[in-house]
Structure 1
């Protein structure tokens, strides 16, 4: 099944640029007209309405180099040349504080250009229109002076711009007002105030620094005196030794601690030796005793005993007692020395701790006094330097060139504004044309209709200029060479040649909705076919709305339903119209279900009889979206013409109508774009073909 929702030429997410350009070309008249209107409006505005403005510019340079009269650091350092500093100074020049000084200096609060409360309301302003409509004569509510001043500052800010000349320390101060003298005055005054503001800032900072330093020096002098007094008082109250003596005491303490460690080791060794000796004596192990004692006398006694010398054993026993006594005495002396040294060390540690604390306190007091002295001297020197600076302050900027009174207005620029108005008018018209084209939901060309449906457009029928429906045949008969007549002939040719393999005998004409011109087209096609000498039958397939009576004068009461019911024969029901040159079978209003009628065998038999008697049978059926009659009849015909009204039938209606036929496997033979408004075609830019060929038509 064809995709009837999306065009077959372009994907959804693409735009046909050539089609948009064609749209603009088709609407070139409106674009040119809008551009000329824009040009006229722009010229009228610039010459008659717009207020002229004058621009004046003064130039200020940032001094990155300062004169060094004396080698003293300033309280406020000079400005640097980095980009941050430059940007900051641009903001300073546009600050509200500086602009407020400008307003006060020049009395701009009394200038109606900046003080809106002094201006007479225009009749065309919002306030003037409201007052005119409401007719209010009440006095406005009073406004505070601060509010007025803030409004003036805002307005002055809007007229001033400051720009840094690229890759330089230069600032351009530009003022734009309604007076050339005022513009120059504002630009020059702002430059002077900026430099004066720098000097005032330095004077004020130096004065404040001097005052603060004076108070601080007095405080520091008192603090220094207190610190020196504290050192003296502490020296008088304590008995301090020197740091060198304290170092000797620490060295003595270390020596005594080392000696105590050695004595403790000797005491432990003697005690262990005594314990081992007692154990050897208990076992009478003389060899072990000799090893422990390391006594030569004992060794000789052992030798004597071994040689069997008399009295050696008694001497050995005595010598063992002497050895044990000696070792016990050594262990006792070691313990006595440990106790003595421990007491001495403790006393020496206490002395050192006390002296160290006092010395630390004294040193802290001395450091504090020295720090107080250094701080006092620094601030005292700085106070003297600051006092000297008060007379040698320099601004960080200077005026390079003062603004001159402009010789002519800078705005509006008549030629530029008019050119912009011309372009804007054309652009607005172009945008309108493109938007209208993008929002278009109808069909204006056969190409668009074919692209949307994928079905061939067999005919393009212009509107028939008849005042009423009965005048359609008169017009076609009287104007056989008119554009409408030629369009019907083209439709006939396309229809007959569309299927050379099968005879096109029964033709159904339908549409999406009523009022699309399918009936007029059916009548015109019947007249054209009869003009070929063919026998043609025109059947009114709409048994709900009988519209043939609006085109023809028919006296017979019997019609299609009577034939199907068998009340009359086909020959008895038909009416021949000489102007049409064809027979007519009208419909009949009835409560019978039309779907049942056209699905019946009798209707099929009737179509067979019509084929036998006529060369062509044209059945005018109801719209597809209104009733299902066309979907039923379409199954028995040879060709189907589907009429779409020019620039009126929506794309959705056409898609739904064709889809309803395809749902029952009915193929539309061709589309007809009907009731084309030739003037409208030319207005949209699509009527060039008709214009080129209008010499062939007699309308």
Structure 2
């Protein structure tokens, strides 16, 4: 609060040399510095506004819900991902549905497709329902176009995402749609807008929810969607099975012909290239094995013959060595001849002992021995020749086998090259036979599987006929209307509070102006407006507020217990109650024993004579013009004892300088006879003479109407008064509504309560 210089009571006139302090209106409070309780208080002060707006929104929401066409919702639940029954231990021809979140969502899109919707619409004959066929709906009046339900539907249609279905959009090359096709498209679109398929939580169960104006229709739509989906899935699997079976049959026929041709090609290639086979290997391979064994035997025989021949050849010149040859020793003929040779030699020996060498017997024995020896020699020579022949035969046989082996090797190389091609043909033929066998088995299994084909989805809960409508959501609408209404009311209340640039509390006055708040004067209504209120009702709230004004003025005056001297009541704008306050304050001071005179200087709108129920007559203006004496200009109030000078004839005045100087002298004279001089002036912003009067008085009391006078007007008036040297004692808030003030004031609201005032007076 800024310090205000005061003039001591009893001084004649203000010091014209005193310089006023610089004044600048305090800035408005920063909303960011407001705490939560300040916001709550603002809302509480406007609680009736908030409640009224909220109630209006609730009524509007309830009315909207009442006029909207009700719709019923029914839900059927479908479990997907059931496995196919595998009667045969084979791999399934059709892959079963994998139970995962992606598949579940995909199946949800399948259920809400146009193909399913078209079948549902046909099965339920929705083209004969007025709900889906616009041609069967009754004609609506103009009031339906502006109904809340129609506006809400259009709003939802604008906000809701549109379905992107290529089947519903005709291409540029397609023929124009007929009326029947347009109707079908409309029914399908309307049906899809009223169906919703959602996975339930984290399960593999799909909830199919349908809405309709009729509860039975809603249940039928939901159940039919589920039935059509199950049937469509089963038909799709059967069609796939039929296609697979047809493809298998076609492929089997092709493979049979291919396998036959492959086998014929293998056999023909064998015949053309001599690739004959036994049970284990080809002929050439078997010949190679046999010939290899013969070659080894021939090689061994050749070696043996050559060894025997080598042993016999050097011994031919030495008969003794020949006898030791194995072939000779093993010859039975030589053994016989040698036995005969031994016997002949024995006989010869016996005969030699008896006869002479010329004896015929001796010569005969000798001839036999010689003949036997020749035979042995011839046999040995024959054996040697046989060894040579055997060696030559073994060598020839070895040579022939070696040549044959080389020939077979060359044939084996060629055969291996041809065998590679043969194996390729055999593998191809075997693959064709294997594929043919597999497909024939698969074909039989597919035919058997078709008989037990089942759907991978199952309806676990059919939709029942709903009892209560699901649309409109009355509770949700009312809750949303309440929240929106309360939010709108709160925002409007805060907006009004922040846009309110008037004074509501004493704290606001002191923070904004820097001046003390002297009193809160309540509004006076009805009979209380009669003159003499402070005299007739000394313990009223109005009188108590004036006593508070007197107390604060007295405490502000350091030299006197009473606010004596010249006091001016002014305001920034008309109608702020300064005349009633000034007159009532003068009356109150008079009842407390002071000599008080009240001057009506509001020459713009003189109203003081009405406060005392007096007709307009001579007064202050006439006194300043010299037309009447001071005694004629003064009115004595019999109720309070205060003296009053009414405005008088304000039609003619001398110049400003003249009447200001005369008023100065009048105030000087009156100050000698009265303890308190109260001036009721015009609003400062409308009467420039108030600035002159501000320099003549001891203190100025600024009257501001509560919750009415703009703050800028008050700050402008204070700035003008300070600029001319006026001494402002403080601000009085007038016409305060005590009940409403309690919403704003806290510490200083007690004395506005009449009960509290009576208790204090007692």
- TM-score, with length taken from structure 2: 0.56
Aligned-partner Cα distance in 2 for 1:111–1:637: 91
Distance of 1:662 and 1:69 partners within structure 2: 108
Shift of 1:678: 5.2
Q: 1:250-289 alignment to 2 at 5 Å?
A: none
Q: In structure 2, the residue corresponding to 1:612 is in which secondary structure?
A: coil
Report the Cα distance in structure 2 between the residues aligned to 1:383 and 1:510, rounded to whole angstroms.
117
In structure 1, which of residues 98, 118, 124 is the aligned counterpart of residue 116 of structure 2?
A: 98
CA contact 2:590–2:642 (8 Å) conserved in 1 = yes
Determine if contact 1:60/1:398 at 8 Å carries over to the other structure: yes
Question: Residues of 2 paired with 1:383 and 1:3: CA distance?
Answer: 104
Deviations 1:509-543 (A, max 9, x none): 12121121112222222222222232223233344
1:509 to 551, 569, 578: 569
Q: Which residue in the other structure is 1:617 paired with? A: 677
Asked whether the 8 Å contact 1:466–1:475 carries over to 2, the reply is no
- Distance of 2:740 and 2:141 partners within structure 1: 42
User: CA 1:693–1:483 in 2, change beyond 3 Å: closer, same or farther?
Assistant: same
SS at match of 2:575: coil
Aligned to 1:17: 36
How far did residue 189 of structure 1 move? 1.2
Question: Hey, what does 1:555 align to over in structure 2?
Answer: 617
Look up the match of 1:230.
none
Aligned to 1:645: 705
The more displaced of 377-386 and 483-492 is: 377-386
Alignment partner, residue 266 of structure 1? none
- Find the partner of 2:592 among 532, 535, 541: 532
1:556 and 1:573 in contact (8 A); partners too: no
Relative to structure 1, is the Cα distance of residues 558 and 445 closer, same or farther in structure 2, using a 3 angstrom cutoff?
closer
1:508: Cα distance to partner? 1.8
Residue of structure 2 in register with 1:165 after alignment:
200
The 10-residue stretch of structure 1 (162-171 or 49-58) with the greater mean CA deviation from structure 2: 49-58
SS of aligned partner of 1:500: coil
RMSD of aligned alpha carbons: 5.6
- Give the secondary-structure state (helix, strand or coil) at the position aligned to 2:108: helix
What SS does the corresponding residue of 1:4 show, helix, strand or coil?
A: coil
Deviations 1:89-135 (A, max 9, x none): 223323344223322221223223444553445779524889xxxxx
Secondary structure in 2 matching 1:586: coil
- Name the residue aligned to 1:86: 104
Instruction: Pick from 176, 184, 187 the counterpart of residue 222 of structure 2.
Output: 187
Question: Given the alignment of the two structures, is residue 177 of structure 1 paired with residue 235 of structure 2, yes or no?
Answer: no
Paired positions, count: 539
1:693 paired with 2:715, answer: no
| 1:568 and 2:629 correspond | no
1:5 pairs, out of 12, 27, 31, with 27
Q: Is 2:696 the partner of 1:674?
A: no
Q: Which has the larger radius of gyration?
A: 2
Residue matched to 2:393? none
In structure 2, what is the Cα distance between the partners aligned to 1:464 and 1:482? 10
Residue pair 1:162, 1:173 contacting (<8 A) in 2 also:
yes
Structure 1 unaligned regions, length at least 5: 131-142, 222-366
2:126 counterpart of 1:108:
yes
Q: 2:191 aligns with which of 148, 156, 165?
A: 156
- Taking the aligned partners of 2:511 and 2:199, their CA distance within structure 1 comes to 59
2:77 maps to 1:59: yes
Aligned to 2:289: none
Pick the aligned partner of 2:550 from 492, 496, 519: 492
Structure 2 unaligned blocks of 5 or more: 1-22, 149-177, 257-423
2:509 and 2:183 map into 1 onto residues whose CA distance is 66
Q: Provide the residue aligned with 1:234 in structure 2.
A: none
Structure 1 residue 56: Cα displacement:
2.9
| Range that drifts further, 196-205 or 677-686 | 677-686
Q: Structure 1 pair 625/69, CA: closer, same or farther in 2 (3 Å)?
A: farther
Secondary structure in structure 2 of the residue aligned to 1:673: strand
Distance (Å, rounded) in 1 between the aligned partners of 2:750 and 2:193? 54
The separation in 1 between residues aligned to 2:455 and 2:491, in whole angstroms, is 56
Matches within 5 A, 1:177-576: 177-202=212-237, 391=450, 395-406=455-466, 433-465=493-525, 472-501=530-559, 504-548=564-608, 550-551=610-611, 552-556=614-618, 559=621, 563=624, 568=626, 572=630, 575-576=633-634
Q: What do residues 485-517 of structure 1 show as CA deviations (whole Å, max 9, x unaligned)?
A: 333233222222233357652212121211211
Cα displacement string for residues 43-71 of structure 1 (whole angstroms, at most 9, x for unaligned residues): 8988x767665443222122174556779
Task: Give the CA deviation at 1:74.
Answer: 7.7
Distance 1:111 1:387, change over 3 A: farther
Find the aligned partners of 2:24 and 2:621 in 1 and give their Cα distance. Answer: 38
Partner of 2:321: none
Matches of 1:151 and 1:684, distance apart in 2: 61
For 1:571-605, what per-residue CA distance to the aligned partner results, in whole angstroms no more than 9, with x for missing partners?
Answer: 638722222721316373457675x568x666555
1:535 and 1:93 mapped to 2: Cα distance?
99
Does the residue aligned with 2:105 lie in a helix, a strand or coil?
Answer: helix
**How far apart are 1:463 and its partner, in Å?**
2.9
**Partner of 1:513: helix, strand, or coil?**
coil
SS of alignment partner, residue 486 of structure 1: helix
CA distance in 2, matches of 1:74, 1:574: 127
1:13, distance to aligned residue in structure 2 (A): 1.8
Instruction: Report the Cα offset of residue 190 of structure 1.
Output: 1.0
Q: Distance in 2 between matches of 1:28 and 1:62?
A: 55
The TM-score, its normalising length taken from structure 1, stands at 0.61
| Contact in 1 for aligned 2:255/2:435 (Cα 8 Å) | no
